[in-house]
Structure 1
Amino acid sequence: MQIPLDYYRILGLPMQATAEQLEQAHRDRTLQLPRREYSEFAIQSRKQLIDSAYAALEDSSKRRDYDSHLIAAGGPAAIEPVSIEIYEGQLIGALLVLLELGEYELVIRYGRPYLSSGSGQLGQTAQETLADVVLTIGLACLELGREQWQQHQYENAAESLETGYELMLRESLFPAMQAEIQADLDKLKPYRILELVARPLGDKAARQHGVELLKSMLAQRGGIDGANDDASGLGVEDFLRFVQQLRSYLTSAEQQDIFEVEAQRPSSVGLYLSVYALLARGFARHQPNLVRQAKQRLALLTERQDVYLEQAVCAVLLGQTEEATYALERSHEREPISFIREHSAGAPDLLPGLCLYTERWLQQDVFPFFRDLDQSSVTLKDYFANEQVQAYLEAMPPDDVAPAPIPGRWGAAPPPSDPGRWGAAPGGVAPDYGEAPTYRRSSGAGTATAFGVGAAAAGAAGIGAAGAAAMGAGIGAAASTAAPPPRPTYTAEQVSSLSPEGSLDEVEPVSTIAFDDGGDDDDDDETLRRRSGAPKWGRLALVLLLGLLGLGVLGFIVAQLLGWVGALFSGPKLKGDPLDVDVSRPAIELPAEEGVSTSTNVQVIAEETLQSWYRAKGEAMGPQWNVEALSDILLEPALSDWTGRAQKNQSQGYHVEYEQTIQNILVEEVAEDQLKVTADVDETGQSYLFGAPDGSTSFEDQLTVEYSLQKQDDKWMIESFAVQ
């Protein structure tokens, strides 16, 4: 049978190799043995091919004839056209050689037919042959998967790894390798999920597969803020960063589906994020019933979390004007309150500013984190003008109050019974939602974790920073006030006299939210359950118009007021450099050999050249992606290779910062203008995605590297690298 190999590749030599190099390569290849799991038959089969290659090239006349044939076929670079003929017993040896050459796909192509065609014909017992072929294909799948991983082909990598795993599992062979492949698959899962959900919305099957993989991770971890080990290598905070990154790739319906399940675990993080999905969908799709669900679920967090601002937003969208204002008075969010007061100047209450805040927050700070809504443009005016919204608000029962608090840890009842989502307890008994951490808003400064500082995260939450102090004078009654004061109303004549036009200035994204272990509010829970009676969406439309008047004059004030706002979800993305999943490459201290120069001159040249290379590498792969620095130290083919890497990093938004220790530098003068330098390099790399650390792709390597140096225009440059 024909196998795509040639004698030079079997020995690992170029066609220009000398007779001495030929002999040395034969000796080295003979001494290098494959993994200990291989049978003696496989080892001898490989040795036969190496011996045959050496015998064919050792004789100068035979070698000339073979070289002519090889050149006519396209040379060693033409892998497929060039081949050698082997007999059946040499197949496993040929597969081993292809594996060592990195031809993983060829190993799989030529090895697979023999898994089902009866391997006894290869000259060995069927079981032994089967084990050798399975091992070789399994190793090829493992290495191919890792190679594809580093090329950011995550689904292809998973397919390769799964192929090898399933093969060995089916044959009940090599459990240690099965575990090794499974470990790679576990660590690869976050990358696969991100790749799948980032695909176009029309690719429904792939995106749904990504969602299912995410759900499986959540189940293994015990929830979005669970601490169970899913073998992905992501701790609690890293996983929250991962979820943070995913949200902008998921639609509002997908997020609602995922986070409602999380809320039922119970998980306060999942509950909070489900509220945002409901609120975003309700406003964008003109479905106030979803807003009402969001408002009811917020009541589960009120005892230990200041979510009154969010409740005020929900009340605005439900036309509950008095309840909206009263919830606003109970909030400790000083910056948003200040913004709302500024934009309610001259009005009898805070509703104009609250309406403006609601529209800005939803449009600019909530929608961008839902893939199907990030380009949506919906205004409060459009929302309240919708007939579906009007009909729902008119029909909404006047006794639509928040769920009454119940004794227990959270101090609030779950939403009305909905077995399909919440699994309401029988007999009216409320389920135990567990200890609920307290949220606090952060201004963004010093926030280092995904959903803010702390052990868990809550998602986007509006403008503002945490504040436990009392509100400034004129904001409203104290938190312990038993009932809201009467609110003024607007007449139909006032409504008709208002201009419907308005504009919104652009603002920065909102700050992140963090969990806090401390503190219950001392507010009277009973007062929160008050509402104004029948919905007054007409009045709300009026105050919305009032709030939109005069924004041109206030534009400068708005810009100054909002200058403090931090970037929402500015944590690291789960892209960037792939994990260093290569097989272990320990540093090797090479003994001195003949021909190694001890000349001070070439030693200094080597040291300075390596230092120049690592400086240029740091610039090219660093935050400025200074690719031009590479041309000052690298020649082809290394220049194209590293230029491509740096440009790819830049296109994906991540950079790497390196630290190296270089030692045991050995220099061999190959020619007057050529040096071969070997050095031990201990290198660490800290990866960053959009400026934020990405620990999952950082690495520590101990390598022995051989550098080929070429003198060009009186300057020493690096032509190629080889990791030993």
Structure 2
Amino acid sequence: MLSLEDFALEKHPINIPLDYYRVLGVPVQATTEQIAQAYHDRSVQLPRAEYSHKAITARQQLIRESYQILSEPQQRQNYDTKFLSSSTPEITIAPTQLAGALVILQEFGEYELVVKLSQNYQDSNLTPQENQDILLSVALANLELGRERWQQGKYEKAASFLLAGQKILAEQQICLKIQQEIQQDLCKLRPYRIIELLSLNLKHTKERQTGLNLLQEMLDKRQGIEGKTNDYSGLSLDDFLRFIQQIQSYLTVTEQQTIFEREAKRPSPVATYLAFYALLARGFAHKQPELIFRAKTLLKPLLKHQDIYLEEGVCNLLLGQTEAALQSLDKSQESATLDFIKQQSANSPDLLPGLCLYSERWLQSEVFPHFRDLTDCSTSLEDYFNDLDVQNYLNSLPQELNQQPEIIKETPIITPVSEQLFNASSLQTLQPPVKESKTTANLTMEEAVRETNARQTNKQSQILQNSNLWKIVLASLLGIGFLTIIASLWKKTTTPDSQLILSLNQPMIVIPETNQIEIPTPVVTENILPEILNNDQASIIVAKWLEAKSRAFGINHEINALNEILVDPLLSKRVEIANLVKSQNSYREYEHDFEIESVIMDENNPEKAIIIAQVREVGKYYQNERFLADKSYDSTLRVRYDLNKVDQRWLISNIQDLRSSQ
């Protein structure tokens, strides 16, 4: 008569890709003594305590069965004959032994096989306890697969395995300890995921948004950049500051503005400082002086504790307030930079020529390189001041810029342009001497620290006493400049195209002591784009257009954004449509994804090129605050972009839907 186990095996046999030698962990050539020793060792080893007694017993049965066959010479000979002739050895087990077999596969690192087998054989014929053991094996397999991918540097794939394992256990409400173990791994993995996702090409909007969301989660868990709340990432305050420095080179100027302006409201001195740079950079690059005005308002509270009057001077210059800009220079104690400015203004009645030259070089070498989409942006003051929108805004500014924007709107005191604004044409007459003195942008660290120490005694009372962060980031670097230090560290650690500088067993970034760092002398080069466009550059151009489109037709109607990427005849047409949408009290929300197909240079004219791209656009229309479903859409188009190079920048002159033209 058949036993219950034999009956189950006969009725529902399961073939598992295992062999008896592997169950015991011995080679085919193993001696009888080696097999006996392996059996003893495997019998005393126990799997994780979360497995049920039934699963552990099933595992022991398979180990004992393997020993019984291999320890008896005749049975081993019969088994070897069948085993050695098979290309894919298998053993046949009963369904009640499945959980034990999965435990054995788990022990030998066959994690993907565990997942596959569990999907094939998990069904209603198994008891709830057997199902739970199988799900536990799958969750543990996902945990180990996640750790393997982590070690391989595939961080997002690692997270997908960890999340899958966590979901299985959470849905079954079992094994809380393992759930916590997975969650700890996810927290430690989060910084790596952020960098991997943000470093993707700008066309991967959904994945990069996931990275931004993870970054915000991390900031919220820590309660800000300076926060001391444990986010379980393993990063100390210093580590996290270096992490923030590293990710900035993967972020666009708009992304940095959004993140750091939000963080500045906690409040956060460091976020305020970084938000200032983002606003200043975007305001100048996009010719939106209103952002520079906002940047200046952020700078004011920081001036109480830090000598950053040079930054204030640049702000005043870009707002056309030349007198205020020169007054800021008078307050600064950055002697090396002031000497440079004075030297460049040797034949001028004031320091304006030197300040202009310093501002252009500072923006080019110390500000723009830290924003992913501004590395090739022009830093010409002449172009900036010649822009009509810039002139119109500066004309509307009151003489006293120390008032808040709200007060300014109520009491507009307009000063004549001839008295108030910097004249862009004066830039054409700048003839700086060839020899340059050292500035804070090109001082070696040793020289800068020596200069700092000379002033340190008089400055101690100005340091924010109750903020360790300011002592770490700003006070200890007094007179050198936070962003300048970050720039030198970035150059030694990472670029957007470099391999991620993260290790599972080491701090995020190893930074040498201050006196070991040298800040390289910046090389001022012309902002000239390569003659031949590649796919990465094309992606940046298309991404800029799609962002400008979203801004121009969005709820805030930032129509000037179109000037940053379009040129006539397309510019005039799009501006007209955008103004019409605004006049109808309408706006649109867009989501975009795209892939570059090809880039074609005009053989007869190197100033012209064509980009072909597949673009998915989700458009949501609103009018009078009501969503218009009938006008909204989700379309994928094949689009041709005609480009013209204007002032060393590629701008779009025409856009054509290739499907409609066929």
- The TM-score, its normalising length taken from structure 2, stands at 0.63
Q: Mapping of 1:60-139 within 5 angstroms?
A: 60=73, 62-64=75-77, 66-67=79-80, 69-74=82-87, 81-112=88-119, 117-118=123-124, 121-122=125-126, 126-139=127-140
Q: 1:338 to 1:251 in 2, by over 3 A?
A: same
Q: 1:180 to 1:239 in 2, by over 3 A?
A: same
Tell me the CA shift for residue 114 of structure 1. Answer: 5.5
Indicate if the aligned counterparts of 1:365 and 1:568 stay in contact, CA closer than 8 A.
Answer: no
Tell me the CA shift for residue 559 of structure 1. Answer: 9.1
Indicate if the aligned counterparts of 1:339 and 1:561 stay in contact, CA closer than 8 A.
Answer: no
Tell me the CA shift for residue 248 of structure 1. Answer: 0.6
Residue in structure 2 matched with residue 24 of structure 1 by the alignment:
37
Structure 1: how far apart are the matches of 2:493 and 2:74? 55
Residue in structure 1 matched with residue 350 of structure 2 by the alignment:
349
Structure 2: how far apart are the matches of 1:358 and 1:687? 36
Indicate if the aligned counterparts of 1:245 and 1:574 stay in contact, CA closer than 8 A.
Answer: no
Q: 1:327 to 1:651 in 2, by over 3 A?
A: closer
Residue in structure 1 matched with residue 449 of structure 2 by the alignment:
none
Residue in structure 2 matched with residue 146 of structure 1 by the alignment:
147
Q: Map Cα deviations across residues 295-347 of structure 1 (whole Å, 9 max, x no partner).
A: 22222333333332111101111221111111111112222212211211121
1:562 maps to which of 439, 442, 451: 442
Structure 2: how far apart are the matches of 1:223 and 1:310? 24
Residue in structure 2 matched with residue 229 of structure 1 by the alignment:
230
Tell me the CA shift for residue 244 of structure 1. Answer: 0.9
Structure 1 residue 397 corresponds to structure 2 residue 397: yes
Tell me the CA shift for residue 269 of structure 1. Answer: 1.7
Q: Mapping of 1:519-534 within 5 angstroms?
A: 534=417
Tell me the CA shift for residue 231 of structure 1. Answer: 2.0
Residue in structure 2 matched with residue 541 of structure 1 by the alignment:
424
Q: Secondary structure at the match of 1:562?
A: coil
Structure 1: how far apart are the matches of 2:355 and 2:141? 62
Q: Secondary structure at the match of 2:442?
A: helix
Residue in structure 2 matched with residue 8 of structure 1 by the alignment:
21
Q: Secondary structure at the match of 2:98?
A: helix
Q: Map Cα deviations across residues 512-564 of structure 1 (whole Å, 9 max, x no partner).
A: xxxxxxxxxxxxxxxxxx998647687442443344x144x225x46999342
Structure 1 residue 275 corresponds to structure 2 residue 276: yes
Structure 1: how far apart are the matches of 2:42 and 2:94? 21
Structure 1: how far apart are the matches of 2:261 and 2:21? 62
Please give the root-mean-square deviation of Cα atoms over the aligned residues, in Å. Answer: 3.2
Q: 1:380 to 1:373 in 2, by over 3 A?
A: same
Tell me the CA shift for residue 68 of structure 1. Answer: 5.2
Structure 1: how far apart are the matches of 2:104 and 2:386? 73
Structure 1: how far apart are the matches of 2:335 and 2:325? 16
Q: Which structure 2 residue ranges, 5 or more long, are not aligned?
A: 1-13, 446-483, 514-662
Structure 2: how far apart are the matches of 1:275 and 1:144? 43
Tell me the CA shift for residue 186 of structure 1. Answer: 1.3
Residue in structure 1 matched with residue 194 of structure 2 by the alignment:
193
Structure 1: how far apart are the matches of 2:206 and 2:374? 21
Tell me the CA shift for residue 98 of structure 1. Answer: 0.6
Residue in structure 2 matched with residue 451 of structure 1 by the alignment:
none
The worse-fitting range, judged by mean Cα deviation, of 345-354 and 557-566 is 557-566
Residue type at the aligned position of 1:10 = V
2:65 maps to which of 38, 52, 66: 52
Tell me the CA shift for residue 72 of structure 1. Answer: 4.6
Q: Secondary structure at the match of 2:329?
A: helix
Residue in structure 2 matched with residue 370 of structure 1 by the alignment:
371
Q: Secondary structure at the match of 1:568?
A: helix
Tell me the CA shift for residue 86 of structure 1. Answer: 1.7
The worse-fitting range, judged by mean Cα deviation, of 56-65 and 27-36 is 56-65
Q: 1:180 to 1:575 in 2, by over 3 A?
A: farther
Tell me the CA shift for residue 197 of structure 1. Answer: 0.7
Q: 1:157 to 1:370 in 2, by over 3 A?
A: same
Tell me the CA shift for residue 19 of structure 1. Answer: 2.5
Indicate if the aligned counterparts of 1:276 and 1:366 stay in contact, CA closer than 8 A.
Answer: yes
Structure 1: how far apart are the matches of 2:107 and 2:378? 57
Q: 1:190 to 1:561 in 2, by over 3 A?
A: closer
Indicate if the aligned counterparts of 1:223 and 1:262 stay in contact, CA closer than 8 A.
Answer: yes
Q: Secondary structure at the match of 1:2?
A: strand
Indicate if the aligned counterparts of 2:195 and 2:500 stay in contact, CA closer than 8 A.
Answer: no
Residue in structure 1 matched with residue 603 of structure 2 by the alignment:
none
Q: 1:255 to 1:561 in 2, by over 3 A?
A: closer
Residue in structure 2 matched with residue 239 of structure 1 by the alignment:
240
Q: Map Cα deviations across residues 13-71 of structure 1 (whole Å, 9 max, x no partner).
A: 22232222122112211121212222221111111211222233334455455445545
Q: Map Cα deviations across residues 665-713 of structure 1 (whole Å, 9 max, x no partner).
A: xxxxxxxxxxxxxxxxxxxx766847659xxxxxxxxxxxxxxxxxxxx
Q: 1:226 to 1:350 in 2, by over 3 A?
A: same
Indicate if the aligned counterparts of 2:43 and 2:60 stay in contact, CA closer than 8 A.
Answer: yes
Structure 1: how far apart are the matches of 2:217 and 2:385? 40
Structure 1: how far apart are the matches of 2:416 and 2:273? 27
Q: Map Cα deviations across residues 244-280 of structure 1 (whole Å, 9 max, x no partner).
A: 1111111111111111111112222222111111111
Tell me the CA shift for residue 570 of structure 1. Answer: 4.5
Aligned residue pairs total 456
Indicate if the aligned counterparts of 1:191 and 1:574 stay in contact, CA closer than 8 A.
Answer: no
Structure 2: how far apart are the matches of 1:37 and 1:156? 26
Greater length-normalized contact order (CA 8 Å, ≥ 6 residues apart): 1
Tell me the CA shift for residue 167 of structure 1. Answer: 1.4
Residue in structure 1 matched with residue 387 of structure 2 by the alignment:
386
Q: 1:540 to 1:332 in 2, by over 3 A?
A: farther
Q: Mapping of 1:91-490 within 5 angstroms?
A: 91-112=98-119, 117-118=123-124, 121-122=125-126, 126-393=127-394, 395-403=395-403, 416=406
Structure 1: how far apart are the matches of 2:299 and 2:345? 26
Residue in structure 1 matched with residue 574 of structure 2 by the alignment:
none
Q: Secondary structure at the match of 1:85?
A: strand
Structure 2: how far apart are the matches of 1:294 and 1:399? 17
Q: 1:229 to 1:61 in 2, by over 3 A?
A: same
Instruction: Give the number of the structure whose residues are more often helix, by fraction.
Output: 2
Q: Secondary structure at the match of 2:435?
A: helix
Tell me the CA shift for residue 196 of structure 1. Answer: 0.9
Tell me the CA shift for residue 106 of structure 1. Answer: 1.6
Residue type at the aligned position of 1:19 = T
Structure 1: how far apart are the matches of 2:512 and 2:119? 44
Residue type at the aligned position of 1:99 = Q
Indicate if the aligned counterparts of 2:399 and 2:415 stay in contact, CA closer than 8 A.
Answer: no
Indicate if the aligned counterparts of 1:193 and 1:213 stay in contact, CA closer than 8 A.
Answer: yes
Q: Secondary structure at the match of 1:250?
A: coil
Q: Which structure 1 residue ranges, 5 or more long, are not aligned?
A: 75-80, 404-413, 419-427, 429-529, 577-649, 657-684, 694-724
Indicate if the aligned counterparts of 1:286 and 1:383 stay in contact, CA closer than 8 A.
Answer: yes
Structure 1: how far apart are the matches of 2:287 and 2:308? 23
Indicate if the aligned counterparts of 2:156 and 2:193 stay in contact, CA closer than 8 A.
Answer: yes
Q: 1:654 to 1:110 in 2, by over 3 A?
A: closer
Structure 2: how far apart are the matches of 1:574 and 1:166? 40
Indicate if the aligned counterparts of 1:351 and 1:544 stay in contact, CA closer than 8 A.
Answer: no
